[in-house]
Amino acid sequence: MQVRFSHISLAFTPDKDTLHDLNFTINDGELVCLLGPSGGGKSTTLNLISGLLVPTKGNILFDNQDVTKMGPSERKIGMVFQNYSLYPHLTVENNIAFPLKIAHWKKADRLARAAKLAKLVHVEDQLQKNVNELSGGQQQRVAIARALAKDPNILLLDEPLSNLDARLRMEMREEIRRIQQETKITTVFVTHDQSEAMHISDSVMVLHNAQIQQYSKPNELYDHPANQFVASFIGDNPLNTFDRSLLDDTELKEELGKVYDKATTVGVRAENIVLTKGEDTYQHGVRCKLLRSHRYGLISTRLYSFKGIELDATGLTEIHDTNEEVEIYFQKRGFFLFDASGNNLFLE
Amino acid sequence: MINQKISWKQTLHALLYLAPMMILLSIFFLYPIISTFILSVFKKYNFYTNAGQGIGFDNFAYLWHDPMFHQAVKNTFIFVLGVVPASIIISLGIALLLNRFSKVRGFFQTLYFLPYVTSTVAIAMVWTWIYHSDYGVLNFILKLFHLPPVGWLTDPHYTMLTLIIFSIWKNLGLNIILFLVALNSVPKQYYLSASIDGATPWQQFTNITVPLISPTTFLLTINAMIASFKVFDQIYVFYHNTAGPNNSGMTIVYYLYQKFYVENNYTVASAAGVVLFVIILLATILQNYVSKHYVHY
Ligand SMILES: Nc1ncnc2c1ncn2[C@@H]1O[C@H](COP(=O)(O)OP(=O)(O)O)[C@@H](O)[C@H]1O
Ligand SMILES: [Mg+2]
């Protein structure tokens, strides 16, 4: 089912909008991530879709039908909460069948349905167990099965993986992707973990400061971030940023052309700093000194000092001495200029 | 430490710490209980010399044949059945209401809790006025609805009802407070989740609230049941040192009191005590058994 927000605003207190004038469409059968830092309004957006919250302004449409005034149960959605919210007094089977019991299904029918869903999420051998005998990942699976019990139009998941350890998180995000693709259900997935969002989704919506910062395909976020916030938020390494004026007396300035004058801030990804120039780099580099380097397993990082500021670089293999002056080059795909309000100037 | 075996020395050490409490417990609980059991099987007993003669079950045979004791047992069961379920249901209902209206909660909480912390005797005195046939508030209210006045404290047919109403009211305070605590400890997310599934408030109550507060319900039921089996003070105050008109308010503990202090029949009183002990024990075992199936911890 397609979901559309049209000029949605929501204010918990009259003086400040928690969400301001949101417009977006989630296409039928897509898995969309709501991504952003804590307090960015992700859960609020999700609760607007579910009907647990009512917008202050604007309309919500499901397949062009206005559902703004409808309650959660009328909207036919399934929801998975961060701590799963499984009923501790019920078995796995009865947890999955709970929504059907509420809907007055016959016992045999609802247990049959529960068994089918348990198979889908791979907990068919746990049906008679109590939910607190299950591991975190299994509980997660049960919660998803329960959310799918009534064959909802939309599946909503609010930070479903954040209670799991790192390895299980990776396993479960693939599982969620698999289940979503098998059921082809329109899914909205909330997370504050950019790598999770990048791996799992068809599209990612970055929410921050009451607004959508960017809504696009995952790789697009990385390759063409709309603004400084998105550029810093996406990617495994931190974005190096510094004041544009530091480049004023370099030849790199000339190479960047007209757009340079509008910029106030420069951003460079750590993985796009290299020591030799090539076709994918700017032809002029900057001189800096190596301060120190570390290695954490696969990833080695170096800290260079450039005009009093520090630049992180990762993935460099050429060896040179600490304190030695070297020329570093910036690869174009990881180099950004931002104007005063943070917009990416290369996108214009 | 955790996986070490505990040595004799350590055990002795622990016992030393426990000793003061153990001694107090023995003097004030264990010794009286054992004495009661011993007393109940003496055929003859001299209170002043603390000497018993002859061992047998005569006292229990006496109880078996005493119509007054039959009356006492019957009344006690009527009382327990009248008070316990009603006080649990009413206090849960009030707790649910108070939980909704959080602003007035503190005020009502105090109001309901007052009777619990005040002595039963003092409150019962006040209630003798509420129950008064001619000037009482209760009969005044009945009159407003054009109902005939009731001799709450004088008509033997109403004795048990009078006692039951008072005791339900007296139990409310503690029950409401503990139910409020239990209701608050149910995570709100369960209700959100259920409401997304379209559960009505009643379905949420029966499917989520009831099972999740069941440990509290169980605790309060046991507590109310034991207290009700031991009912005494209110009878004593309401009926001025009698068991009500025609002994219509005779209960096991009142019977025990009567035998012990009024008739100085210590051995029969002890036997009645033992019977009460066994009844409460059986009732508790039964409840524990039932709770295995219905209480979710
Ligand atoms: N029920 C509420 N009442 C008042 N403010 C709220 C409420 N829920 C959330 N907020 C505020 O709205 C903002 C967005 O919250 P939320 O949507 O939960 O963020 P996220 O899920 O992205 O961490 C936060 O600043 C939060 O404090
Ligand atoms: Mg949240």
Strands B42-46 and A65-66 turn out to be unpaired
Per the structure, the count of domains in chain B is: 1
* Residue B210 forms contact with A (CB below 8 Å): no
Class at the top of the CATH hierarchy for domain A3-230: alpha beta
E strand intervals along A43-185:
57-62, 65-66, 77-80, 154-158
Residue B141 lies in a domain: yes
Establish if B72 belongs to a structural domain.
yes
Q: What are the domain boundaries of chain A? A: 3-230, 237-347
Pocket test for ligand 1, best of A12, A47, A233 (most atoms within 8 A of CB): A12
| CATH number of the domain to which B277 belongs | 1.10.3720.10
pLDDT in tens, A196-225: 999 999 999 999 999 999 999 999 999 999
pLDDT of residue A192: 92
ipTM of predicted assembly, 2 dp: 0.79
Domain that holds residue B246: 68-294
pLDDT tops 60 at residue B1? no
Position B2 scores a pLDDT of: 65
Residue B205 domain-assigned? Answer: yes
| Global confidence as pTM | 0.80
Pick the CATH number of A237-347 from 2.70.98.10, 3.40.50.620, 2.40.50.100, 1.10.3720.10: 2.40.50.100
Chain B residues close to A85, C-beta within 8 Å: 187, 189-190, 192-193
- The mean pLDDT value for A164-190 works out to 90
Residue B44 lies in a domain: no
Tell me the backbone φ, ψ of residue A261, rounded to 5 degrees.
Answer: -65, -25
Is the Cβ of B285 closer than 8 Å to some Cβ of chain A?
Answer: no
Q: List CB contacts (< 8 A) between B198 and chain A.
A: 72-73, 99, 102-103
Question: Which residue of A67, A73, A76, A83 is the best one to mutate when testing the B interface, meaning the one whose CB has the most B CBs within 10 A?
Answer: A73
* pLDDT tens digits, one per residue of A119-175: 988 899 999 999 988 988 899 899 999 999 988 999 999 998 888 888 888 888 998
The pLDDT value recorded for residue A250 is 84
B16 within some domain: no
Give the confidence band of B80 by pLDDT, cuts at 50, 70, 90. very high
Asked whether residue B191 is assigned to any structural domain, the reply reads yes
Q: Does B185 touch chain A (CB under 8 A)?
A: no
Question: Which bound ligand lies closest to the C-alpha atom of A36?
Answer: 1
* Residue B193 included in any domain: yes
Pocket of ligand 1 (CB under 6 A): A 12, 18, 36, 38-44
**Assigned domain for B97 exists:** yes
